[in-house]
Amino acid sequence: MVIQENKVNIMSLPQSEVKRLSKENLTQDDIEYLKDKYGKKFVKALRAVEERKIIRYKFKPSESATWIVMGRGRQYFIIPELYCTCRSFYQEVVISREATFCYHLLAQRIAEIREEYESRESTDTERRKLYVEWRRTD
Ligand SMILES: [Zn+2]
């Protein structure tokens, strides 16, 4: 019988990878290294960053921030390094525990490190409406 530790899965990139990702131009070596380690997730994450699919909302007057990744047909709500509303996060991270993150979480980290995301400002009133959409997990 396998006893599973009852811990929260946290995605955390090692400092060496943060350093690689923060370079202005990624070399072929950087890309190969990250592809070896994260596979298809890295490829999809990098593409999402290049296509500017990561958005950081700042709401006023609370100054709270929210990260969103645009997926096909809908937007995914992200809590950096911790949570995503997509189906694969639910299945692979929460239920089967075969991963600690989905490609959206990786994309958010890459976008934040490389400062390659879109910034949007909105109001707290608007945020309440947006949250109804973002909280969907289907
Ligand atoms: Zn996700």
pLDDT at site 75: 92
Q: Ligand 1 mean position to 1 CA, how many Å?
A: 30
pLDDT at site 72: 81
Q: Ligand 1 mean position to 38 CA, how many Å?
A: 15
Percent residues over pLDDT 70 in the chain? 92
Exposure class string for 60-77: b at 16+ Cβ within 10 A, else e: eeeeeebbbbbbeeebbb
Average pLDDT value over all residues in the chain: 91
Q: Ligand 1 mean position to 105 CA, how many Å?
A: 6
pLDDT at site 104: 97
What gap in Å lies between CA 128 and CA 64, rounded to an integer?
12
pLDDT at site 7: 59
Q: Ligand 1 mean position to 137 CA, how many Å?
A: 10
Structure tokens at 93: 């991270």
User: What residues contact residue 35 under an 8 Å CB cut-off, 6+ apart?
Assistant: 42, 43
Q: Ligand 1 mean position to 138 CA, how many Å?
A: 12
Residues in the chain: 138
pLDDT at 39 over 90: yes
Q: Ligand 1 mean position to 76 CA, how many Å?
A: 7
Q: Ligand 1 mean position to 136 CA, how many Å?
A: 12
pLDDT, tens digit, for every residue of 81-138?
999 999 999 999 999 999 999 999 999 999 999 999 999 999 999 999 998 888 876 6
Q: Ligand 1 mean position to 77 CA, how many Å?
A: 8
Confirm if 95 and 26 have CB atoms less than 8 A apart: no
